[in-house]
Amino acid sequence: MMPMKTVSTLILIGVTLQTATAMDALDDRSRMFLKSHCLECHNDKKQEGKFRLDNLSPDFNDPQAAQKWAEVVFRINAGEMPPEDAAQPSTEELGWMSEYLTQKIRDGAAARMARRGKLQYYRLSRQEYAHTVYDLLGVVYDVEAPGALNEDPRWHGFDRIGALLSTAPSHIDRYFQAANTVVELAFPDNEPPLQKNRQTAGEGKRYLLQLGEGWGAVNVRTPGRYRIKIQVSGLPAFTGRAPRLSLWHHQRKKSFAGVDLATTADKPETIELEGLFPAGHYQIRNHARTQQHPNGAYKLFRNEQIDASQPLSSYQGGFNASRTKLVDEQGRPVMPLLLVDWVEVEGPLTTDVDRKKREGMFPVGQSSDLPSDPKQVESRLHESLQRFAERAWRRPVSDDEIERYVRFIAAEQKAGADLRSAYRSALSTMLVARSFINLEEGSPNENRNKLNDFELASRLSYFLWSSMPDEELFAAARQGKLHTAEGLAVELDRMLADPKIERFLESFLQQWLQLHRVGMFQPDPNLYPEYDPWLEESMVLETTAYFAEMFKKNLPMREAVDSNWTMLNSRLAIHYGLPMPSQAKLARVELNPKSQRGGILTHASVLSLTSDGTRHRPVHRGAWLSEVVLARTPPSPPPNVEPLEPVAADQPKITIRSQLEAHRLNRTCASCHAKIDPLGLAFDNFDAIGRWRETERIEGGTGDNPPVDASGTLPDGKAFAGPTEFKKLLAENDDELANAFLEQLATYALRRVMTVDDVRHLQAIAESTKAEEYRLQSLVRRLVMSELFQQR
Amino acid sequence: MTRLIVAKVAKTFAIAPRPKLVASFAAAMTALCSLLFVCSSAIADEKTDALRDYVSKRGVFPPKGAGIHVHGDLVISDPVNRRGALREKRHTPRHYFAMLPYGMVRYHGAPADIRDIPPGTHMHGRFLSPMEGEEETIPVTEQLLKRNKNYGNNHAILLEDDVSFYSRQGRSWKVIGFEQGGGPAPRLKLSVEPVGPEIEGGINKPALFDIDDSTRIWKDRRLVHRDEIKPGMEVQANFTWGPFDSLATTDVWLDDVSLDAFKEIQRQRHLRLIRSRFLPGWVDAVKNYDTGGGEVTVTFFGGMDQELYDEIWKSQSVKMCNAENTLRTWGYHQEYASRASVLEKQKIENPAFGSSGLQMRLKVVQMLDGFRPGKIIRVKGPWTYVLVPQDEVYEKPADLERAQRINLP
């Protein structure tokens, strides 16, 4: 009989061998952890909870294996495993294991998402669709209007990740509707009449708009380019708070243009707003506060025509007494006011540039325009369709592809349609073709890793312009210039200098920083009565303008997190408690070190998007900072985490930080929170809408509000006393900042998640800009010029 | 002292003073003791022109003893604008008046409004010179002033019927008996003598009042025949003009319980009125926010029932609307009121006559133009939503214009 010890040893060897085979890809430390704490109950003999771990594949690219590993992480994070009665690993060990597996899973997920076939399609986001139809045909199509295109799903803020942008039947239906509308607008049977009209407040009158109120003076019947002139006085409040004139789309409940004003009543300004406007009714609105009447009942209207000769300071008492107070006891406006004299609307304007876009694409004028020979007609149709398709599909198009559409037109005509309608139908069909609504990369019969010239042109233009290539870029592609460093550099310079670069500056920033979350949870009006739509808009404008300033001046990446300047308007100055800027509109201002501001991390936009409308969320702030700024996505919290309880009425007030510290006594929570929390707690001096504070307002509880403690220690052991020191530590570590930023930039540019395979490319790009202090525009340039950018 | 007076009145009416009744009497008396003091001391002070001709200003309550005592039948009544006219004697011109914004009306011993007073009721008033800016409200001719300069004092801080006037000062009438009068208009007379202190403007000696079958005599909350009036009783009475400028009794209250019933009915009528029209006060100070909101410090006017003050005092949120000196509000005052939350409140010790002594600092989300120092506002407590009759409020500028001056009949 074999001694028991020998049997055990053999079994152990067997288990060890099997384990070694299955978990080869894991490192020693994790294998040891699993062996010590998991395999005893999840092996070939015993599968507690019907879960076997010893033979679980460590191939994290395998969806099923990854799912099971995710289960392991979940059980660890939830504190369920190892069970209470088993030997317990240290908190540090638990945290390490969880993070290790999370990283592996994330790498696997990234690899899966990035797994590419021979042909890859990246559907245009709806914003890109709008830009593309405008650049293709000069047509304004409101993709966000109700019933227009579906909202795009986001992956960590990015709405252009190919793997997520599937095309469902509902998309096709909407694409058809959109295409028909676009083609009808581009090639109508009758050109829409030029609309030019002026509305006045009346002879000797001025239209007075109090806060949040508007004058519905603009009606856009056909979407397009319009020039809107307004003669107006914008009177700042007695405190200097300036009015914001906004062109507010009544149906969309959104501002489409605006301007900050600071004039006197007797010296009105004529402002001109020219841009692309969807159809609808617009209000000239004093946008500095919500339209909702605070009493929740009738509005106490002050939208009225007032006598232009009567000084505003005389509007006190009498019949006005029951209405909103306009001027204070010294006759100064108590709030920002607008006095509008007239509004002039002109459009839709068709510029030569827009007209040129459509040239040669619609050969069917009056029937007398067409040759009498049917073959010549067919040839002309073919030629026009080809011109249209090559631009719309952003690649050369074969005759065979066009022939299908020529036949389609003939079939339509046979069915009774006239030629113009049939031709328009053909164009509409082209705009729902796969080649239009997707960026195509690869070839069906070829396994290649590099983009061809046209694919590269599209990647470049959708990266920098969120739209199709222009004629010069197409020409460079046709000539093969984009695959030469010189040729690419020439195009890159041209594109960076083009006004369309604004689309990148706005779109990338919004997606990178997840600014779509600003205002997602509207701050409780009882707790934050100062919050208003114009503040919310100003918050985003500050960050957008800040990034644009960094880009245009090509500033180092460290200034993204720490600087002595920002972009301010009067609304933000009030919000931040800073001196009123000398001009009403958003402009760069230098900051006093005592301002507690400087760098994106102290922008109200960022500080509020991580709050929940009632209070700041330090853990959310930490997770956001980790993911967005450091490109390290923390593991998701387990479900059913007990929320922090409000402070009981009979208990002393304590900070959220103190409550979290109690929460962290739970070992399973501690491992993750130890890394995330310090990043968020560093900004505890800022409340849920980004105002500076020394004490934390606690609802309920007894005693005074407790003082804020924003000190902490980074995982590398560096201590900081508050946000200023924290920002300095981040800025000093600009290698990490630049690497993380590049990862986000490349994700946006390549429309896919970065994998471990991309790391060396990204590091090389970062390394090449290190000597230039990781300047923003340089990083963009190096990415475009890199090998990675040209890879499929 | 107040309790003593109450006890005395109760004894006079031959009923035991119930604790609750005494307490409510005491509360009412406490509220008015300053008035008593003012009026008593005014006897001496009235001789000084400074007090007599004192011109009140917005935001400032008048000093003790300001104004003069006036009495007469209410012959013109404009309840909407809180104005009217008293006529003292057959030959005297009407004494037109406007209530000051903080002017108080009392009827049947309880807070009241001019609409509660039947025309012809004999009233007592404390009349001051017009408030600054209100000089044109009651037109007065030079000729009238030459006849009697009292006509220049035409803004009332207090207006009350006889039962209110005498009872609050601890006065009653002791019945001596009935007398048949003679002369060209022989009438039955009720012979009485005053009980209690001498008071300014009052009848301080034995008197004969007309009494006939139109006089309502109240005992044990019921109408009784005048045979029930017995010599030695201490009674209260209201009057109207009688032939040869005599005073004719309209009502005689023989006991405390009957008068209390009248008082309570009037009090309830007053509560109903103010809960729909809101408590008046004026703005002491404002702090404007540059977003349209702000802070308003308000002092409530005096003369209202304590129950209303208590309700406001307990409120954490209220609504405020604008009013003019007539206390008329604008349009749909329920909707045109601005919501406010209470930031701070304080009770002022020994408040001036006209003031309740209650002050609140309120935060409003929307400042109305009328929220300015010295302007009148009305504050809604936790009361039911009621829309007031349209003719009571200002609807358009012309309404305000028309109400600038008294509309003389």
Rounded to 5 degrees, φ, ψ at A602 are: -105, 15
- The mean pLDDT value for A548-577 works out to 95
Res A170: pLDDT: 78
- Note whether A590 and A694 are same-domain residues: yes
User: Is the same domain home to B182 and B102?
Assistant: no
Is the same domain home to A646 and A779? no
pLDDT for res A297: 38
- Point out the domain boundary residue: A728, A761, A780: A728
Query: In this predicted model, what pLDDT tens digit does every residue of B81-134 receive, in sequence order?
Result: 999 999 999 999 999 999 999 999 999 999 999 999 999 999 999 999 999 999
Between CA A289 and CA A243 the distance in angstroms is 10
As for how many domains chain A has, the answer is: 4
* pLDDT of B333 strictly over 90: no
- Domain membership of residue B271 (yes or no) is no
- Beta carbons of A329 and B372 less than 8 Å apart: yes
Q: Residue A290: which pLDDT band, with cuts at 50, 70 and 90?
A: low
The lowest-confidence range among A136-145, A570-579, A693-702, B297-306 is A693-702
Measured in angstroms, the CA of A229 and the nearest CA of chain B are apart by 27
Cα A608 to Cα A612, A690, A691, distances in angstroms: 8, 6, 9
pLDDT digits (tens, 9 = 90+) for A90-120: 888 888 888 888 888 777 766 655 566 778 8
Cross-chain residue pair B335–A328, CB shorter than 8 Å: no
Express each pLDDT in A293-352 by its tens digit. Answer: 444 434 555 567 888 888 888 888 776 677 888 899 999 999 999 999 999 999 999 888
- The enclosing domain of B237 has a CATH number of 2.40.50
In the block, residue with structure tokens 């009306």 = B105
Q: Indicate whether B2 pLDDT > 50.
A: no
A689 and A760 share one domain: no
Shared-domain flag, residues B134 and B14 = yes
pLDDT band at B240 (very low <50, low <70, confident <90, very high): very high
pLDDT digit string, tens, across residues A727-766: 999 999 999 999 999 999 999 999 988 876 677 789 899 9
pLDDT of residue A265 exceeding 60, the answer is yes
Domain boundary among A114, A134, A162: A114
Contact residues, chain B, for A295 at CB < 8 Å: 335, 337-339, 365-366
Q: Which chain B residues are Cβ-neighbours of A237 within 8 angstroms?
A: 290
The tens digit of pLDDT for each residue in A334-346 reads 999 999 999 999 9
What letter does residue B374 receive in the DSSP assignment? T
Section B212-240 average pLDDT: 97
Distance CA B287, CA B303 (A): 28
What is the b/e burial string over A12-33, where b = at least 16 CB atoms within 10 angstroms of the residue's CB?
Answer: eeebeeebeebbeebeeebbeb
Closest chain A CA to residue B369:
A325
Q: Please, what is the average pLDDT of chain A?
A: 86
- Position A163 scores a pLDDT of 73
**How many CA atoms, within 13 angstroms, populate the side-chain half-sphere of residue A364?**
20
Residues in chain A: 792
Q: Do residues A550 and A687 both lie within one domain?
A: yes
Taking the CA of residue A237 and the nearest CA in chain B, the distance in Å comes to 6
- My answer on whether A533 and A669 are in the same domain is yes
A658 with A743, same domain: the answer is no
Both structure tokens of A336: 């920002």
Quick one: closest CA in A to B340, which residue? Answer: A295
* Angstrom distance (rounded) from CA B158 to CA A63: 89
Per-residue pLDDT for A545 more than 60?
yes
Has residue B132 been placed in a domain? yes
| Residue B140 maps to a domain | yes
Residue A114 near residue A756, CB atoms below 8 Å: no
Asked if residue B243 belongs to a domain, the reply is yes
Among A238, A288, A321, select the one facing B368 at the smallest CB separation: A321
- Which of B167, B185, B202 is a domain's end point? B167
pLDDT of residue A378: 87
Residues of A with CB under 8 A from a CB of B: 210-211, 237-239, 241, 288-289, 293-298, 300, 315-326, 328-329, 334-336, 529-530, 532, 574
Q: pLDDT tens digits, residue range B32-64? A: 444 444 443 334 444 468 899 999 999 999 998
Whether A519 is in a domain gets the answer no
Residue ending a domain, among A322, A348, A374, is A348
- Chain A positions touching B294 (Cβ under 8 A) are 325, 334
Whether residue B269 is contained in a domain is answered as: no
B351: pLDDT confidence band, cut at 50, 70 and 90? Answer: very high
Q: Report the pLDDT averaged over residues A24-35.
A: 85
Residue A303 counted as domain residue: yes
Q: Is residue B265 part of a domain?
A: no
**B337 & B192 share domain:** no
The answer to whether the bond into A678 is cis (omega within 30° of 0) is: no
Residues of chain A with pLDDT > 90, as a percent, come to 51
| Tally of structural domains, chain B | 3
Chain B residues whose beta carbon lies within 8 Å of the beta carbon of residue A323: 368-369
Sheet architecture: strand order including A214-220: A214-220, A280-286, A244-249, A254-260
Q: Do B290 and A241 touch (CB under 8 A)?
A: yes
First to last CA, chain A: 64
Same-domain pairing of A663 and A571: yes
Same domain, B72 and B113: yes
Interacting residues of A686 by C-beta distance below 8 A, sequence separation 6+: A602, A607, A616, A692, A693, A723
pLDDT (0 to 100) of residue B3: 32
- B328 with B290, same domain: the answer is yes
| Beta strand extents in B243-316 (DSSP E only) | 246-253, 279-288, 294-301
Q: Do A334 and B396 count as a contact with CB atoms less than 8 A apart?
A: no
Domain range for residue A294?
Answer: 195-348
Chain A contact set for B400 (CB, 8 A): 318-319
pTM: 0.76
Is pLDDT at A523 greater than 70 in this prediction? yes
Residue that wins the pLDDT comparison between A501 and B398:
A501
Residue-wise pLDDT for A138-166, tens only, equals 999 999 888 899 888 888 899 988 777 77
Q: Please, are residues A444 and A118 in contact by the beta-carbon 8 Å criterion?
A: yes
Task: Clarify whether residues B39 and B122 are in a common domain.
Answer: yes
**Are B137 and B209 found together in one domain?**
no
Domain assignment of residue B407, yes or no: no
Return the DSSP state at A655: -
Measured distance CA(A773)–CA(A763) in Å, rounded:
14
| Cβ contacts of A74-78, under 8 Å, gap ≥ 24 | A74/A638, A76/A101, A76/A668, A77/A635, A77/A637, A77/A638, A77/A668, A77/A671, A77/A672, A78/A638, A78/A668
Quick one: B197 and B307 in the same domain?
no
The percent of residues in chain B predicted with pLDDT above 70, rounded, is: 88
Contact across the interface for B368 and A529, Cβ inside 8 Å: no
Any domain includes A421: no
> What residues make up the domain containing B297?
278-402
Model pLDDT for residues B243-298, shown as the tens digit of each residue: 999 999 999 999 999 999 999 999 999 999 999 999 999 999 999 998 888 999 99
| Band of pLDDT at residue A63, cut at 50, 70 and 90 | low
Quote the pLDDT of residue A18.
Answer: 46
B198 and B141 belong to one structural domain: no
**Residues A748, A719 within the same domain:** no
What confidence category does residue A614 fall into, taking pLDDT thresholds of 50, 70 and 90?
A: confident
| pLDDT of A707 above 60 | yes
- A773-790 burial, b at 16+ Cβ within 10 Å, e below that, comes to ebbbbbbbbbbbbbebbb
For residues A671 and A91, the answer to whether their CB atoms sit within 8 Å is yes
Claim to verify: residue A100 and residue A204 sit in the same structural domain: no
Claim to verify: residue B247 and residue B347 sit in the same structural domain? no
- The predicted-structure confidence for A183-193, as pLDDT tens digits, reads as follows 999 998 888 88
A674 and A698 co-located in one domain = yes
Phi/psi at B103 (5° precision): -70, 140
Q: Are the C-beta atoms of residues A542 and A586 closer than 8 Å to each other?
A: yes
Shared-domain flag, residues B381 and B303:
yes
Mutation target to probe the A interface, by most A beta carbons within 10 A, among B283, B291, B295, B377 is B291
How far CA A764 is from CA of A390, A433, A787, in Å, comes to 36, 38, 10
Q: Is the dihedral of CA B162, B166, B167, B171 positive or negative?
A: negative
Same domain, B59 and B194: no
One domain, residues A540 and A674: yes
Same domain, A578 and A666: yes
| Domain harbouring B20, CATH code | 2.40.50.320
- At A411-466, the pLDDT tens digits run 999 999 988 899 999 999 999 999 999 999 988 887 778 899 999 999 999 999 99
Helices (H), A470-611: 471-478, 485-497, 501-513, 533-552, 558-561, 570-576, 604-609
pLDDT at A339: 95
